[in-house]
Amino acid sequence: MVTMLDVARCAGVSKSTVSRVLNGKDVVREEVKALVYKAIAETGYRPNLLAQQLATKKSSLIGLVITNAVYNGPFFSTLVYNAAKFCEAHDHRLIFADGKQSDEEEMNAIDFLVRMKCAGVMVYARHIPAPQLAKIISESPVPIIVLNQQLAASPDHAVFIDHYRGSEIMMDYLQAQGHRRIAYIRGKMPSPSNMARQQAWQDKLVASGVDDSDALLAQGDWSMESGYRAAQALLAGGQRFSAVLAANDDMALGAIKALKEQGLAVPEAMSVAGFDNANVGRFFTPALTTLDIPIEQMIQTAVERILNTNNDPACTALCGTLVVRESVGRCASEE
Amino acid sequence: MVTMLDVARCAGVSKSTVSRVLNGKDVVREEVKALVYKAIAETGYRPNLLAQQLATKKSSLIGLVITNAVYNGPFFSTLVYNAAKFCEAHDHRLIFADGKQSDEEEMNAIDFLVRMKCAGVMVYARHIPAPQLAKIISESPVPIIVLNQQLAASPDHAVFIDHYRGSEIMMDYLQAQGHRRIAYIRGKMPSPSNMARQQAWQDKLVASGVDDSDALLAQGDWSMESGYRAAQALLAGGQRFSAVLAANDDMALGAIKALKEQGLAVPEAMSVAGFDNANVGRFFTPALTTLDIPIEQMIQTAVERILNTNNDPACTALCGTLVVRESVGRCASEE
DNA sequence: CTGAAAGCGCTAACAA
DNA sequence: TTGTTAGCGCTTTCAG
């Protein structure tokens, strides 16, 4: 392991001089500079970032904690991709810790990142309860930004999407197509996005006079497989409904599969819609009607908040935009 | 920022004692231990991992470099998910650096991770040429494992999948179904997996007497969108073919969409197959016939190689297994 | 413009 | 069993 001292000796100067030419802060004589660069090349020196960060107390890392519950969705790749992208756009690197499946693991993950002296950490939490989150935020020496979740206690530490409003938009569309009895497949609980979406669904149903919404609710776990089974369960339940709204695209896609298998053409006999605007939805037959979620903006805002380049509170009010494709049709059965 | 010294003072002991109780290595008197724990709780002390790693020269980080060219595929989530999983199974954390779109960026990413003193780094490279990679490996102070690419120069630093063999398996199946003129949609170059798959496709075609394989080749970039367009181009080309093989599932799915739009039923009028066994393929109509790639095993081997818990050279010989579903049928047209 | 020396927060001999 | 002392590799005063 070649250190700065080795380079210094090789160049016949002191450690501090080497440090200076590397950081370009102080002024160093050109000839000396050349000498140092030559020594660096000869020795194959690579600065140790741990030592550097320890000395400067500055970090080039931004942490991200995600539950692996969302690992299989398209949501995950988009999130990670954009997180990496924006971090690097600001000369930082993304460091990643798995929140696994429990609040304890999620806390561990956050703790690890904080102790790694990240400049900040983004948390896509599924298990830590809000008050606990608020406590972590207030006690943390570095900014902690909570993703996809509203935090009353510290709004500027949360970047979220208004899933309730998004779900309303979708329900309005469905109802405008004449659907009244709309079934809902929810994701695994607890999940803020699911809760909000489900609530809007129920509220809209009630507002339109459907009062047995419970009978139209099915349970999934975000996976296609679970959407497939949830749709089967719904069908088996014997309830009347003309549309199925799933809490994400994957489940919607699974549901379509199940409906088709039962001889129900989509959208002719049954309409289906999802959330997230997963890439694959466009290539399905029928192409999936969905709600596009501005993940990219959310992450960008989070990163900028961490690095203090963004103070725009408006960014927390995202709600998504409807993407109309083929999987929703007009309601056939007049009720 | 509360340091170990603060804790020591608070407990009325020395730094080393605190360090000892924290690491549990040396024996410390129970009462002193209690004192220290109390002090830790009171001060809210969190060990600084940078300092710790600098002092011990041990790291709990494993790096991963990926080109963002693969970010949108299902390949990506599986890779990252499993990488995180196996790292954590071995008490390490995954740290992530974007290889972006050039060899220079990929080298930067590797360099960063090495300088962060990772225990090792896994590289899913798309741009750095093999000889360069070999050089990096030989000069690196920590193990560098190249993913998904054969490396003649240093076989024990490469964990790859035999894509040529995998493609042969698929071609054998297609030909067994009676297909002779099989079109191929390739991914963006350069890509070792694509090159191998394409070569096997061509060799098999030639072996079966088809000598104008060039006319049956279309260019994609791994995305569904590109598969869609490639299939359109193939159709527009006016060539006869009864099956389309795409270098990955996403392109295969895109191709199916285009074929359907042209009134070609899959698999009745045209067969389609892909590679990777993306989750979504199962829920498509028709469900996609594909080749399952043992990504999980590949990553596991890589992580274990880095941590020296695996010396089994057999693990480098993975080739994947055929997953027969509905998108390939018997060739209708006798030629 | 450059070098000496102290310090970042922790660990690890070595003594006591 | 515990404290003292030197580092780990880098930055950063402070002198010169």
Residues of chain A with C-beta less than 8 angstroms from the C-beta of B51: 54
Write the CATH number for A99: 3.40.50.2300
Q: Are B301 and B159 in contact (CB under 8 A)?
A: yes
Q: What is the pLDDT of residues B221-258, one digit of tens each?
A: 988 999 999 999 999 999 999 999 999 999 999 999 99
In a domain, A174, yes or no: yes
Same domain, yes or no: A89 and A178: no
Residues of B numbered 94-113 whose beta carbons fall under 8 angstroms of chain A's beta carbons: which are they? Answer: 94-98, 100, 111-112
Q: What is the pLDDT of residues B130-140, one digit of tens each?
A: 999 999 999 99
In a domain, B330, yes or no: no
Same domain, yes or no: B209 and B275: yes
Q: What is the pLDDT of residues B171-229, one digit of tens each?
A: 999 999 999 999 999 998 778 889 999 999 999 999 999 999 999 999 999 889 999 99
Q: Identify the pLDDT of residue B75.
A: 78
Is residue B144 pLDDT above 90, yes or no?
yes
Is residue B335 pLDDT above 50, yes or no?
no
Q: Identify the pLDDT of residue B76.
A: 82
Q: Are A201 and A171 in contact (CB under 8 A)?
A: yes
Same domain, yes or no: A265 and A197: yes
Is A45 touching B (CB cutoff 8 A)?
no
Question: Which residue is the nearest neighbor of C6, CA to C1'?
Answer: A55
- B55: the nucleotide nearest its CA (via C1') is D8
Task: Using a 7 Å cut-off to protein CB atoms, list the covered nucleotides of chain C.
Answer: 1-5, 7-13
Distance CA B134, CA A161 (A): 46
Same domain, yes or no: A280 and A190: yes
Closest CA to A8 of A30, A31, A40: A40
Same domain, yes or no: A21 and A85: no
Q: Among chain B residues 23 through 52, which have CB within 7 angstroms of nucleic chain D?
A: 26-29, 31-32, 51
Write the CATH number for B45: 1.10.260.40
Same domain, yes or no: A176 and A262: yes
Same domain, yes or no: A286 and A167: yes
Domain termination site, one of B160, B194, B221: B160
In a domain, A332, yes or no: no
Containing domain of residue B244, as a range?
163-293
Same domain, yes or no: B168 and B187: yes
Same domain, yes or no: A248 and A179: yes
Closest CA to B92 of B122, B68, B70, B137: B122
Q: Are B256 and B327 in contact (CB under 8 A)?
A: yes
Number of domains in chain B: 3
Distance CA B100, CA A262 (A): 45
In a domain, A263, yes or no: yes
Distance CA A130, CA A137 (A): 10
Q: Gap from A40 CA to C8 C1', in Å? A: 24
Is residue B284 pLDDT above 70, yes or no?
yes
Q: Identify the pLDDT of residue B72.
A: 65
What one-character DSSP code corresponds to residue B123?
E
Same domain, yes or no: A156 and A194: no
Closest CA to B255 of B242, B277, B274: B274
Q: Gap from B108 CA to D12 C1', in Å? A: 27
**β B321-323/B290-292 pair status:** antiparallel
Same domain, yes or no: B51 and B67: no
Q: Identify the pLDDT of residue A67.
A: 80
Position A106: which residue type? Answer: E
Cβ contact (<8 Å) for B224 and A76? no
Enter the pTM of the model. Answer: 0.88
In a domain, A315, yes or no: no
Backbone angles phi, psi at A235, to 5 degrees: -60, -45
- Give pLDDT < 70 ranges for chain A: 69-74, 311-317, 333-335
Same domain, yes or no: A52 and A65: no
In a domain, A137, yes or no: yes
In a domain, A334, yes or no: no
Question: Closest chain A residue to B46 measured between Cα atoms?
Answer: A115
What percent of chain B is predicted at pLDDT more than 70? 95
Domain termination site, one of A160, A189, A215: A160
